[in-house]
């Protein structure tokens, strides 16, 4: 669909939402696109199940699975990524907006001129003061914390910059709950057979110093395939958007190799289940992989991803730094990668359940906690 047709459809979606009766737009979920559906799916469906309220699901992409959900109390809308979306945000009429989008009211997307309560839901387990921009959460009313580290970080940010205190929900992490449930089902249904060829999942973050953008991934992929491993490349959506040429270069080199797989969407979970090891850099998916499947991660020693130049103001070591030696090994780029892989395959994550409890609230029932809290405090 071309840009003009998309804008027409976005205008239609915004108008349709605007003219809904008030009781049919009390709760609004906003998604930036299909990549964020796994973080909202459980929360949305459980809220529908545990409340009698009408819910609106608004997305900026037409391929978002959430738009296709059918339920008598759910209405879905497409508003695009451009001027219509900006207008929609500025004039939003709803009691509560739930979203995984940081940087509210700092750039194009402003808080509504009407009285709306904004709830931020985490879409990663990483810390809040390094990978996110300075002030990314300042304009939310409520922050859902995945674990104790998020609570400590939000309180430290508020204290350091004398910010108004926000509501904090000790929620947990819906995406991890979903991965663990699926992992348990697969373990029950599949016999544990030794695979002749190990699968390695390359799942980096995005940005100039990340594995793909820096050029490391191209060399690494070629080396792993030459060593006889199966390789799955799962780039971050932002890398696909901003470094498409880097990905195409890798694809053109290995498109005819049956041991190479390219996974364009991060919505699916199959590659996470299939892989024996993940290679990453500073991506939050590394924590999900380790916590959900008890599988180790090789962390490439590239420059730390820091989007907040003031991160040292918050004197808390980020989880993505402190967790590394607990869930995997760090590769300096000099040691033979095959040696690191063999060491990593032998590594078991000690006290996995305790480790998860230390970093995630309400394991297995975060969706229920969200729906109950929403019903009790905001509706």
CATH at residue 75: 3.40.50.11820
* Res. 377 pLDDT band, cuts 50 70 90: confident
Note whether 178 and 273 are within 8 A (CB).
Answer: no
Tell me phi and psi for residue 286, to 5 degrees.
-60, -40
My answer on whether 169 and 191 are in the same domain is no
As given in the structure block, the two tokens for residue 58 are 């608004």
Mean pLDDT (whole number) for 158-179? 97
My answer on whether 229 and 118 are in the same domain is no
My answer on whether 198 and 89 are in the same domain is no
Which helix (DSSP H) or strand (DSSP E) does residue 61 occupy? Answer: none
My answer on whether 190 and 156 are in the same domain is no
More confident residue, 266 or 15: 15
For residue 343, what is the domain's CATH number?
Answer: 3.40.50.2000
Is the pLDDT score of 190 beyond 70?
no
Question: 61: closest CA among 37, 39, 40, 83?
Answer: 37
Mean pLDDT (whole number) for 331-341? 94
Is the pLDDT score of 189 beyond 70?
no
Amino acid 158: pLDDT: 98
My answer on whether 373 and 249 are in the same domain is no
Tell me phi and psi for residue 299, to 5 degrees.
-100, 120
- Report d(CA 350, CA 326) in Å as an integer: 8
Domain count, the chain: 2
Mean pLDDT (whole number) for 174-201? 78
My answer on whether 161 and 182 are in the same domain is no
Question: 38: closest CA among 256, 211, 285?
Answer: 285
CA max distance for the chain: 63
Is the pLDDT score of 182 beyond 80?
yes
My answer on whether 199 and 345 are in the same domain is yes
My answer on whether 220 and 158 are in the same domain is no
My answer on whether 146 and 218 are in the same domain is no
Note whether 85 and 10 are within 8 A (CB).
Answer: yes
Question: 63: closest CA among 120, 6, 17, 119?
Answer: 6
Residue-wise pLDDT tens digits, 204-225? 999 988 999 999 999 999 999 9
- pTM for the full predicted model: 0.95
Which helix (DSSP H) or strand (DSSP E) does residue 50 occupy? Answer: helix 37-50
Amino acid 1: pLDDT: 60
Domain that holds residue 339: 177-359
* Res. 14 pLDDT band, cuts 50 70 90: very high
My answer on whether 284 and 355 are in the same domain is yes
My answer on whether 302 and 326 are in the same domain is yes
More confident residue, 185 or 333: 333
- Report d(CA 88, CA 91) in Å as an integer: 5
Is the pLDDT score of 347 beyond 90?
no
């Amino acid at each position: 669909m071309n840009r003009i047709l998309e804008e027409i459809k976005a205008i239609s979606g915004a108008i349709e939402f605007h003219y809904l009766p008030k009781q049919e737009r009390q709760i609004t979920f906003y998604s930036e696109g299909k990549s964020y559906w796994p973080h909202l799916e459980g929360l949305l469906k459980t809220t529908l199940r545990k409340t009698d309220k009408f819910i609106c699901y608004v997305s900026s992409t037409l391929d978002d699975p959430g738009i296709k959900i059918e339920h008598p109390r759910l209405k879905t809308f497409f508003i695009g990524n451009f001027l219509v979306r900006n207008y929609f945000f500025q004039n939003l009429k709803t009691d509560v907006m739930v979203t995984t989008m940081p940087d509210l009211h700092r750039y194009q997307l402003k808080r509504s001129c009407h009285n709306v309560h904004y709830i931020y839901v985490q879409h990663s387990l990483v810390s809040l003061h390094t990978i996110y921009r300075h002030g990314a959460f300042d304009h939310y009313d409520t922050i859902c914390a995945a674990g104790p580290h998020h609570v400590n970080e939000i309180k430290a940010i508020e204290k350091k910059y004398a910010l108004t205190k926000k509501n904090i929900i000790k929620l947990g992490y819906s995406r991890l709950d979903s991965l663990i449930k699926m992992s348990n089902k697969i373990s029950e249904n599949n016999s544990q057979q030794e695979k002749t060829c190990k699968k390695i999942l390359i799942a980096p973050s995005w940005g100039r110093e990340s594995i793909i953008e820096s050029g490391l991934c191209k060399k690494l992929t070629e080396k792993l395939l030459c060593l006889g491993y199966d390789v799955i490349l799962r780039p971050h959506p932002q890398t696909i958007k901003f470094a498409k040429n880097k990905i195409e270069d890798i694809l053109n080199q290995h498109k005819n190799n049956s041991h190479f797989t390219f996974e364009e969407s991060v919505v699916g979970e199959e590659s996470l289940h299939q892989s024996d090891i993940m290679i990453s850099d500073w991506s939050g998916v590394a924590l999900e992989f380790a916590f959900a499947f008890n599988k180790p991660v090789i962390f490439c020693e590239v420059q730390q991803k820091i989007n907040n130049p003031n991160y040292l103001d918050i004197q808390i070591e980020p989880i993505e730094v402190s967790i590394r030696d607990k869930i995997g090994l760090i590769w300096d780029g000099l040691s033979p990668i095959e040696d690191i892989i063999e060491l990593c395959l032998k590594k078991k994550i000690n006290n996995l359940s305790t480790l998860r409890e230390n970093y995630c609230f309400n394991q297995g029932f975060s969706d229920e906690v969200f729906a109950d809290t929403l019903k009790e405090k905001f509706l």
